[in-house]
Structure 1
């Protein structure tokens, strides 16, 4: 049975930003730094040394007011802990699987979340479920680690006195889970190497570079990410096009398409409609109203907590 938030974060879940309980969680200089559009706060936290091989980014996202939120798709899963007055028991932990579509949601006021973005290939060891089985889904931690472990973690999070303490608990939990698993696949280092080169090269070139067949490379991507190399490259092109469009007041969409790696503008528009459901122009208009979910590709994280895929200097357009 889930515990209520008897201490610490119980007050946080019910408090507005002006409430001194939540204000105590984040230093004043940091509050000034992360206060942004619609007064949403996103704070990147340092990653523990023993969790660094499992987690690529760790952040706290806080919505003091009810807001429309939006997030870019990502090939990597996230472990999410939510705190708020409408969350059952006051605290909820779930795995958000790889996402192939833009997500839109309405977040109630007074809600906070801690998000751990998992490194490519680490989901099976941490969650015990294949990425292909969690695409586009949110899976309760009870269904991954069992009721006893889930209840213990929720109780610990409910007693946490601040965001750093809660984040440390989540990191300790995934380190424990990973240590009891069979270990990372031997293909995981190869996956990271392939991801870094996939943006500027075709699948055949990447397979040769890592020393495997195209068929094996595709199988390893599906086993460790749940997506094919082509699907991962598609999401990356889309995210690059969005960021390029946001960085220019009146973007030339033909130039944005070429720089992002699309064959032409028509191919880019088709991708936007498939992934976001709207045209590039309509999505940019939406982003001026809806607030990006912290850590998504629609927001700009600091260099040490950037998105999973590195940035090449220039890319060769592909059909």
Structure 2
């Protein structure tokens, strides 16, 4: 757990090294944002029809659709899983400019600073030391961000309710207009409150799903607050790129081929 005040922006910092379970993984859209400092061979990200290689690392704000991550044969990196509003204090541009458009860390922090950071991380002796270095870099770069308090509070309510909070009630409780709230969310998260609520609702539903057991999709859709099963299916394809049936097949493939793997539960083998 990162130290305060980073704990209000970050879920965790992580170290990743080794051979990935699959050369290509699909990551469904989720509320989380991501920063990766790459210390190995370049990795590749596909978002929609666009594909790019990332040598130094990347920053990804809250995505609205699934994206594909291609690993090198061996990977090594440190990274940050941000809360949706977490990257805002560290970005030189509005988060809306990065929505579904990953950028390199050099584009965010500049080449000299990133080169120095990567060199310090690469020469650290232990993962714990590397994560401490990354945390110190984030602390050093942390600054004031206008509107962050509003977005953090209202975004936290959306997160706490799993996306079930009525956006009108949220706006009223915040004491601001719907236009102002939406503008702040897009500036600091990259999506509107409604889009963030959709993402939390879908993610909460998926993480509660057990792919090893039979699934009553109609009952699941109803329990999760979807209008009907067709609405749920539409959301499913929007967030994963797959139908519910195909999603379960792929999750079960992961469970068969890599039982107990540390990343099972969200990334999927790419078709």
TM value normalised by structure 1:
0.69
| Secondary structure, counterpart of 2:204 in structure 1 | helix
Cα separation, 2, equivalents of 1:96 and 1:47: 19
Q: Is the 8 A contact 1:76 1:117 kept in 2?
A: yes
Match of 1:175 in 2: 139
Q: Is the 8 A contact 2:211 2:248 kept in 1?
A: no
Match of 1:298 in 2: 266
| Secondary structure, counterpart of 1:52 in structure 2 | helix
Cα separation, 1, equivalents of 2:26 and 2:157: 29
Q: Which runs of 5+ in 2 are unaligned?
A: 44-53
Match of 2:153 in 1: 190
Match of 1:308 in 2: none
| Secondary structure, counterpart of 2:81 in structure 1 | strand
Cα separation, 2, equivalents of 1:294 and 1:224: 31
Matching residue within 37, 41, 54 for 1:81: 37
RMSD of aligned C-alpha atoms? 2.9
Q: How does 1:77-156 map to 2 (within 5 A)?
A: 77-85=33-41, 92-156=56-120
Q: Is the 8 A contact 1:80 1:115 kept in 2?
A: yes
Higher mean displacement: 290-299 or 168-177: 290-299
Deviation of residue 268 (structure 1)? 0.5
Q: How does 1:302-317 map to 2 (within 5 A)?
A: none
Cα separation, 2, equivalents of 1:149 and 1:139: 16
Q: Is the 8 A contact 1:82 1:91 kept in 2?
A: yes
Cα separation, 1, equivalents of 2:87 and 2:194: 20
Deviations 1:125-181 (A, max 9, x none): 1122211111122211211112221121111112111211111111111111114x5
Match of 2:200 in 1: 236
Cα separation, 2, equivalents of 1:194 and 1:215: 18
Q: Which runs of 5+ in 1 are unaligned?
A: 1-45, 300-319
Deviation of residue 198 (structure 1)? 7.1
Matching residue within 205, 213, 238 for 2:169: 205
Matching residue within 29, 35, 56 for 2:11: 56
The count of aligned residue pairs is 251
TM value normalised by structure 2:
0.80
Q: Is the 8 A contact 1:237 1:260 kept in 2?
A: yes
| Secondary structure, counterpart of 2:65 in structure 1 | coil
| Secondary structure, counterpart of 1:269 in structure 2 | helix
Deviation of residue 66 (structure 1)? 5.6
Deviations 1:61-86 (A, max 9, x none): 34425614232312342111223245
Deviation of residue 269 (structure 1)? 0.6
In the superposition, relative to structure 1, how do residues 193 and 75 fare at CA in structure 2: closer, same or farther (>3 Å)? Answer: closer
Match of 1:165 in 2: 129
Deviation of residue 50 (structure 1)? 5.2
Which structure has the greater CA radius of gyration?
Answer: 1
2:177 matches 1:221: no
| Secondary structure, counterpart of 2:209 in structure 1 | helix
Cα separation, 1, equivalents of 2:198 and 2:264: 16
In the superposition, relative to structure 1, how do residues 76 and 86 fare at CA in structure 2: closer, same or farther (>3 Å)? Answer: closer
Cα separation, 1, equivalents of 2:76 and 2:252: 22
